Structure 1
Amino acid sequence: MRFTFQVFSVHRCFPTCHGHASSDSSSSTQTSILSSSLLHQPTTMSAEASLNRNPHVLVFPYPAQGHMLSLLDLTHQLSLRGVTITILITPKNLPFLSSLLSSHPSSVTPLVLPFPSDPLIPPGVEHVKDLGNRGNLPIMAALGKLHDPLINWFNSHPNPPVAILSDFFLGWTQHLATRLQIPRIAFFPTGAFLPYIFDYIWSNVEKVKSFSEVEFSHLPGSPVFKQEHLPSVFQLYKQSDPNLEFVKDSMIANTKSWGYVLNYFDALETQYVQIFKKHVGHDRVFTVGPLSLTGPDVSGGGNSGSGSEPNDQVLTWLDGCPDGSVVYVCFGSQKLLRKEQMEALSNGLEKSGTRFIWVVKPGTTQQQDDGYGVVPDGFENRLMGRGLVIKGWAPQSLILSHKAVGGFLSHCGWNSVLEGIVGGVMILAWPMEADQFMNARLLVDYVGVGVRVCEGEDSVPDSDELGRVIAESMTGGVAVKVQAKDLKEKALAAMSDDGSSIKNLDRFAEQLGQLGRR
């Protein structure tokens, strides 16, 4: 049974916001676990002095690779535009801030709070990469316990932030902002497609879950999604589960945000941005991507840069390959392929006759014993010279930007999608979970830079068909490759001095500055 919904313009109501002046005093990059005994005591400040202060914003990233890195890149850009930032982080995630803190020692300060305990999270785990996609639910619920410590921090700060900028997985911070009478801005490390769909499905959970297919008739192309292709956390929803009720409330709270920032650029699909602005009833929707082009360590893609020996070996190998001849294969930091999938993928690559780089996520010893993430015996020796297998981390952005790479076999996580677009390569789409089915739909059906090769986290592709699709897609000047090159130019233009994303970054920083003067 299919359920079709129509979308109506909704004008949201926002709380009256009374901004606080922020401090431009020197910020230290030293870190400490803050408790109530260590917080500053309130002081007074004249109205004249407060007008001369830069706006102070609390940034709260969500601890998952695809969420955190892009928000840190945004934080870097805001700091360059005169915004003073306190960034909330838990101890084991602090290393992610190293480059940011070294680039902005006087304007970005870490607020390190202990990661709240949760019975579903092993001690010492503070990042989704250590749990996989299903770890999002307990981590989202655990982080909600920081509400009261943050209230205490705000009330004890001499010059508290005038706004909260937080990931959309932390929608409960909208309630925090309302209590503090300041604006909250929701950060979506995605395009305008996902927040639009999230808004509806979480506001109509029982209705949506009762249908096998949902048609979004007022989106361009009226896309239809199977129930199992809707976002993973939504699929887990059960009314009786307190953690899931908390997540539902957080997701709905996102719709009350004062503003929205999207890691997206207008030329990717302008219609969605306009529809989303109409849906929320205001134009405080800032498309500022691809943020990966603007981070403090953009040359290294947020990792170890281009100077390390393993990187040099990969790039040297690519230098010896013809332009556009290599397909890059990677399924992100969380997904581990089981034995049957590894065998089908390796056979497909072999049968394609195409050069390749395959990044394999290593599993635990037990997972490897069960065949998860294990490259079949003999594969690497048979294809030596035609392909590289990298076990562990790879310099993805550097590889995708190399002229020898023409295709990207991907799970369609949004950060990977944007890195592929910036590299000017077509996407061979194998969406598996989370928002990936929606991203794949956008790339393949609407933007024309992708080709479907498989779908579903449990699916095993036919190796003959997979090899054929890879070979045909990588050969010659097919339309999808031409479109990918064109989209790359549009992405670069968006981040140029007069580009749409740079203008939106400027506009966002300016509006934050106005909040600081209230």
Structure 2
Amino acid sequence: MADAGGGSGSMHVLMLPWLAFGHILPFTELAKRIARQGHRVTLLSTPRNTRRLIRIPPDLAGLVRVVDVRLPRVERLPEGAEASIDIPSDDLRPYLRVAYDDAFSHTLSGILQEPPGPGRPDWVLIDYAAYWAPAAAARHGVPCAFLSLFGAAALGFYGPPEALMGRGEHARTKLEDLTVVPGYVPFPTTVAYRRFEAREIFEPGLVPDDSGVSEGYRFGVSIRESQLVGIRSSAEFEPEWLRVLGELYQKPVIPVGLFPPPPTQEVAGHEGTLQWLDRQAPRSVVYAAFGSEAKLTSAQLQTIALGLEDSGLPFLWAFRPLADDETGEATAGLPEGFEERVNSRGLVCRGWVPQARLLAHGSVGGFLTHAGWNSITEGLARGVRLVLLPLMFDQGLNSRLLVEKKIGVEVERDEDDGLFAPKDIAAALRRVMVEDEEFGTKVKELSEVFGNDEMNDQCVREFLRCLSEYGTASSNRDSSISGL
């Protein structure tokens, strides 16, 4: 196995991200950071995702190879759907997984069958969805590592691989199991789902779908069958949960850093937005965005709009179309007259926005977010205060963790149905932005962890060292990975 120092002893890492913007982008960022350490990377995606998401700098082009994988036609999957953002309904997610399993498993097998040489990887680094990859890699003597784009607290809550697969004493067999802290957590915590969140995640997360398995099963097999687990986190941020994962998985669990994207995105079409930000007072603006996955309803968008209006704070809203609107109107989902009333105090931006660039602007001081892990890392890396409105997946767990650590405020909601009112949005925003300076102090401290490129790169180097040492150890029958 190669030395992690780069040069002639460099490794070749093949990456298999899931087909979602929030997965492809951080895998790409990590690929670039691995390449900067002198290692070669092969990154698999689809043609449309490659065109719209993956940008490899010219100086890394010789080290990062992007392979386009064409998806097969699958019944019920819309034409041209190559990422979760392309499907109009969550009910269609299983069919994207069917296409992914078919195309990417076939491509992986072809690469693994190449004779020893530059084209054959030393490691396969997988996302949760590629649960078939560890077995395929093992057949060719190639080790596999699981990369979690979820934080350690969320993964720790989900439990050992067997529980994710619906087996063993910690398996969640009923909805209520998701609303309590697991007994194996050795410290007090509020990291658990609320009732309305548990209802929304139980079936899609733990019940087999039309792809043949549940999402939880994919996680469980991917973790169980991989030799190493990398977590997008840092020991400085959640050391207690990283220790829990080590006990649960009984294999090396390595924080790979947060690797937020640099605020160097192109701003073509958004010059006016930056000029508007330039006119605002330092740290006064709330940036509002809810990710690429959540499909907000008209009622939710109306409430968010009225809450931003009622807060009295300047805001910039990265507005996405309605999940339940068929009119195609630009103002659909907004209260009548909303943009006229907020006028110069608030700006609504439609379509794609350069989020990392906007969060890094000196006038942005708060972030109204869905609490997705990508957005959390981007916000904290830039030292902005967080107001949390979790909507799906791990977001409720992330939100509890941040509130527990006194880093953000969660919008008050009805425990049973998840409803919230404009006053709840406005109150949370004002508390974070105006009333409690402690949040500003906390996020400034954390920005030195999340936004520290050298610290993030050091985590990547440590991860690569572990990959290299595992390869050296596995080549000797008497060697052990336990000392990594």
TM-score for both structures, normalised by structure 1: 0.80
* Alpha-carbon separation, structure 1, partners of 2:123 and 2:208: 34
Distance 1:381-1:120 versus aligned 2 partners, 3 A rule: same
Output the amino acid matched with 1:128. Answer: S
Is 1:79 equivalent to 2:30 in the alignment?
no
Offset at residue 464 of structure 1 (A): 2.8
Q: Counterpart of 1:328 in 2: which secondary structure?
A: strand
Is 1:104 equivalent to 2:78 in the alignment?
no
The percentage of aligned residue pairs carrying the same residue is 24
Q: Counterpart of 1:110 in 2: which secondary structure?
A: strand
Q: Deviations over 1:401-428 (max 9, x none)?
A: 2222221111111111111101212211
Match of 2:335 in 1: 376
Is 1:405 equivalent to 2:360 in the alignment?
no
Match of 1:221 in 2: 188
Q: Give the unaligned 5+ runs of structure 1.
A: 1-18, 25-50
Distance 1:193-1:364 versus aligned 2 partners, 3 A rule: closer
Asked if 1 retains the 8 angstrom alpha-carbon contact of 2:164 and 2:206, the reply is no
| Greater relative contact order (Cα < 8 A, sep 6+) | 1
Matches within 5 A, 1:191-270: 191-200=151-160, 201-204=163-166, 207-212=171-176, 213-219=179-185, 220-223=187-190, 224-226=192-194, 228-230=196-198, 234-236=202-204, 241=209, 243-245=211-213, 247-253=215-221, 254-270=223-239
Match of 2:300 in 1: 341
Q: Deviations over 1:183-238 (max 9, x none)?
A: 11111112112222334441336951324233223334243434653596653267
Match of 1:291 in 2: 259
* Alpha-carbon separation, structure 1, partners of 2:216 and 2:429: 40
Q: Counterpart of 1:268 in 2: which secondary structure?
A: coil
Output the amino acid matched with 1:478. Answer: E
Distance 1:331-1:428 versus aligned 2 partners, 3 A rule: same
Match of 1:305 in 2: 266
Match of 2:111 in 1: 153
* Alpha-carbon separation, structure 1, partners of 2:219 and 2:448: 34
Q: Deviations over 1:422-469 (max 9, x none)?
A: 121221111011111111111112x21111114599744222333233
Distance 1:247-1:467 versus aligned 2 partners, 3 A rule: closer
Match of 2:98 in 1: 141
Offset at residue 52 of structure 1 (A): 4.6
Q: Which residue of 24, 27, 33 maps to 1:68?
A: 24
Output the amino acid matched with 2:98. Answer: A
Distance 1:381-1:458 versus aligned 2 partners, 3 A rule: farther
Offset at residue 383 of structure 1 (A): 1.3
Output the amino acid matched with 1:202. Answer: L
Offset at residue 158 of structure 1 (A): 4.8
Asked if 1 retains the 8 angstrom alpha-carbon contact of 2:94 and 2:209, the reply is no
Q: Counterpart of 1:215 in 2: which secondary structure?
A: coil
Distance 1:263-1:248 versus aligned 2 partners, 3 A rule: closer
Matches within 5 A, 1:33-182: 52=8, 54-96=10-52, 98-100=54-56, 102-131=58-87, 133-145=90-102, 146-159=104-117, 160-182=120-142
Offset at residue 250 of structure 1 (A): 2.4
* Alpha-carbon separation, structure 1, partners of 2:370 and 2:70: 32
* Alpha-carbon separation, structure 2, partners of 1:372 and 1:188: 37
Asked if 1 retains the 8 angstrom alpha-carbon contact of 2:299 and 2:333, the reply is no
Distance 1:63-1:231 versus aligned 2 partners, 3 A rule: farther
* Alpha-carbon separation, structure 2, partners of 1:358 and 1:64: 22
Offset at residue 149 of structure 1 (A): 4.0
* Alpha-carbon separation, structure 2, partners of 1:141 and 1:249: 15
Distance 1:371-1:228 versus aligned 2 partners, 3 A rule: farther
Q: Give the unaligned 5+ runs of structure 2.
A: 476-484
Match of 2:480 in 1: none
Q: Counterpart of 1:299 in 2: which secondary structure?
A: coil
* Alpha-carbon separation, structure 1, partners of 2:183 and 2:138: 33
TM-score for both structures, normalised by structure 2: 0.85
Q: Which residue of 342, 346, 349 maps to 1:390?
A: 349
* Alpha-carbon separation, structure 2, partners of 1:327 and 1:338: 21
Asked if 2 retains the 8 angstrom alpha-carbon contact of 1:198 and 1:251, the reply is no
Is 1:276 equivalent to 2:245 in the alignment?
yes
Asked if 2 retains the 8 angstrom alpha-carbon contact of 1:136 and 1:233, the reply is no
Q: Counterpart of 1:85 in 2: which secondary structure?
A: strand
Is 1:350 equivalent to 2:350 in the alignment?
no
* Alpha-carbon separation, structure 2, partners of 1:291 and 1:142: 29
Match of 1:467 in 2: 426
Offset at residue 475 of structure 1 (A): 0.9
- Of stretches 406-415 and 232-241 in structure 1, the one that deviates more from structure 2 is 232-241
Aligned-residue CA RMSD (Å)? 3.1
* Alpha-carbon separation, structure 1, partners of 2:34 and 2:398: 27
Q: Deviations over 1:68-93 (max 9, x none)?
A: 11111111111111212222222222
Match of 1:451 in 2: 409
* Alpha-carbon separation, structure 2, partners of 1:271 and 1:411: 24
Q: Counterpart of 1:169 in 2: which secondary structure?
A: coil
- Of stretches 237-246 and 413-422 in structure 1, the one that deviates more from structure 2 is 237-246
* Alpha-carbon separation, structure 1, partners of 2:395 and 2:296: 16
